[in-house]
Amino acid sequence: MTISSSLNAGVMGLSANATKLAVISDNIANSATYGYKRSEADFHSMVIGTPFTGYAAGGVRVTTLKLIGDRGSLIGTSNATDLTVRGRGMIPVTDLSAVKNASGNLPLKLATTGSFRTDADGYLRTETGQVLMGWPALPNGTIPTYPRDTAAGLDPVQIQANQFAGEPTTAMTLGVNLPATSTEPGAAGNQEVLSVEYYDNLGKSQNLSVTFTPTVPATTPASNQWTMQLYDDASGGTLVGEYVLTFNDTRTAGGTLASVTTVTGTAYNAATGEVGVNVASGPVSIMIGTLNANDGMTQLSDTFAPVSITKDGSPVGTITGLDIDENGYLKALYDTGLTRTLYQIPVADVPNMNGLTALDNQTYQVSNESGAFFLWNAGDGPTGDLVNYAREESTTDVAGELTDLIQTQRAYSSNAKVIQTVDEMLQETTNIKR
């Protein structure tokens, strides 16, 4: 009984160390594989003897565990869509074959890093066929509310590289200085003219003509008053707004707006310093400055000067690049300077990261042991942020694996020696009969 149990224990030792050797071999082979998570082999003793049967060698059994929760070092790259999670969490991906199948059933896989590039169909994918998943943005660039405990809202990230895009102008700022001398008695009363470009809903360039007419008093003091009229060229030169601007001439607030009287157009908002006009493509808010503040229109000295004219919107442009920020917003960069949000890439987290099921190409799948996933905004909750222009290196420590390899080789040889010794003892037992 004891001799045969020793033989069995030796055989189990050989098998266990062979398994550990396979684990070490896999770790060393993937020491340069981006995103690889090293595996670990643990030995557990087995006890089968009882006080009534005497001692019997129970042997050993081995279990393996992939340490998915470990994080490797980050290494910089030159590709804007090389992506990795800095900290806890994983990137959602799916199979390219499932996307091309168009059946609507897209298996959710998770990865900690990936080198994504657009293919011929515009899908952002790796060379191994893993397609990046994200929440699509609305046309205005905002991300709707999607469910966080299901992959139902996730779509394969697809970039239309040849797509044109433009943004209509919805807001502008007029930082203009009007000459104070034009509102004094005896002034010529010359009208000041300004043309401001804006973009309509089709990305076409239009003009908003602005005239400033001073009120010239017959006698002193100066009126410090101007009439601002706005004409929309896209509407055939129609008057779309008229406002009477009165400026301060006090010691502390000289040259700032004292009051704004609305004649036509959207009423002046004293809190924001804005007026509004309806051009052919829709409403546009115009910041002219708050009362008693030097943040917009002024009336100083004797010079007419457009100091700061700014506006949003852009003409039609084509995509020149992509960028992914730390919060997971994937943005298209256009040659006109426009930046538009296309997708948000969430970060998935599970209660037991090491319980995920390992698949090919450094991807993982949710299992009963890992628990259900939840999709977080990158950098929120327990998850880390996203880093582009970066990859995660393998978690394999080659020096440590080679040390384990020496120990495993010695343990394997020792177990083989046990089997050899048991064989010799059994031979001696057989020789007793002679």
pLDDT, tens only, 318-355: 888 999 999 999 999 988 888 889 999 999 999 999 99
Instruction: Tell me what pLDDT residue 51 has.
Output: 65
Residues 356-404 pLDDT 10s = 999 999 999 999 999 999 999 999 999 999 999 999 999 999 999 999 9
The answer on pLDDT for 61 being more than 90 is: no
Residues 103-144 pLDDT 10s = 778 999 999 999 999 999 999 999 999 999 999 999 888 999
Give percent helix, percent strand, percent coil of the chain, each to the nearest 5.
20, 40, 40
**What is the C-alpha separation between 162 and 180, in angstroms, rounded?**
51
Share of the chain above pLDDT 70, in %: 97
Instruction: Tell me what pLDDT residue 76 has.
Output: 95
Over range 201-227, report the average pLDDT: 94
Domain ranges of the chain: 2-67+395-431, 80-162+323-392, 169-312
Name residues whose C-beta falls within 8 Å of residue 145's C-beta, 6 or more positions apart in sequence. Answer: none
CATH architecture of 169-312: Sandwich (2.60)
- Closest alpha carbon to 141 in 275, 332, 419: 332
pLDDT band at residue 73, thresholds of 50, 70 and 90?
Answer: very high
pLDDT band at residue 5, thresholds of 50, 70 and 90?
Answer: confident
The answer on pLDDT for 241 being more than 90 is: yes
State the amino acid at position 166 in one-letter form.
Answer: G
The answer to whether the CB of 180 falls within 8 A of the CB of 299 is yes
Instruction: Tell me what pLDDT residue 53 has.
Output: 65
Q: Which residue did the predictor score with more confidence, 53 or 285?
A: 285
The answer to whether the CB of 273 falls within 8 A of the CB of 287 is yes
Q: Is the dihedral of CA 146, 152, 154, 160 positive or negative?
A: negative
Give the mean pLDDT of the chain.
92
Q: Between β-strands 124-125 and 390-392, what pairing exists: parallel, antiparallel or unpaired?
A: unpaired
Instruction: Tell me what pLDDT residue 52 has.
Output: 65
Q: Which residue did the predictor score with more confidence, 316 or 19?
A: 19
- Closest alpha carbon to 315 in 204, 208, 201: 204
Instruction: Tell me what pLDDT residue 393 has.
Output: 96
Name residues whose C-beta falls within 8 Å of residue 87's C-beta, 6 or more positions apart in sequence. Answer: 71, 383, 384, 385
Instruction: Tell me what pLDDT residue 1 has.
Output: 54
The answer to whether the CB of 380 falls within 8 A of the CB of 346 is no
* Whether the model pTM is above 0.85: no
Instruction: Tell me what pLDDT residue 429 has.
Output: 80
Q: Which two tokens stand for residue 238?
A: 């129609």
**What is the C-alpha separation between 102 and 7, in angstroms, rounded?**
57
In Å, the largest CA–CA distance within the chain is: 145
Whole-angstrom CA distances from 45 to 12, 38, 58, 59 are 11, 24, 7, 6
Residues 156-186 pLDDT 10s = 999 986 677 778 999 999 999 999 999 999 9
**What is the C-alpha separation between 175 and 181, in angstroms, rounded?**
19
Instruction: Tell me what pLDDT residue 8 has.
Output: 82
Burial of 68 (0-12, 13-18, 19+ CB in 10 A): buried
Residues 246-282 pLDDT 10s = 999 999 999 999 999 999 999 999 999 999 999 999 9
Name residues whose C-beta falls within 8 Å of residue 116's C-beta, 6 or more positions apart in sequence. Answer: 81, 82, 83, 124, 125, 126, 132, 157
Instruction: Tell me what pLDDT residue 11 has.
Output: 86
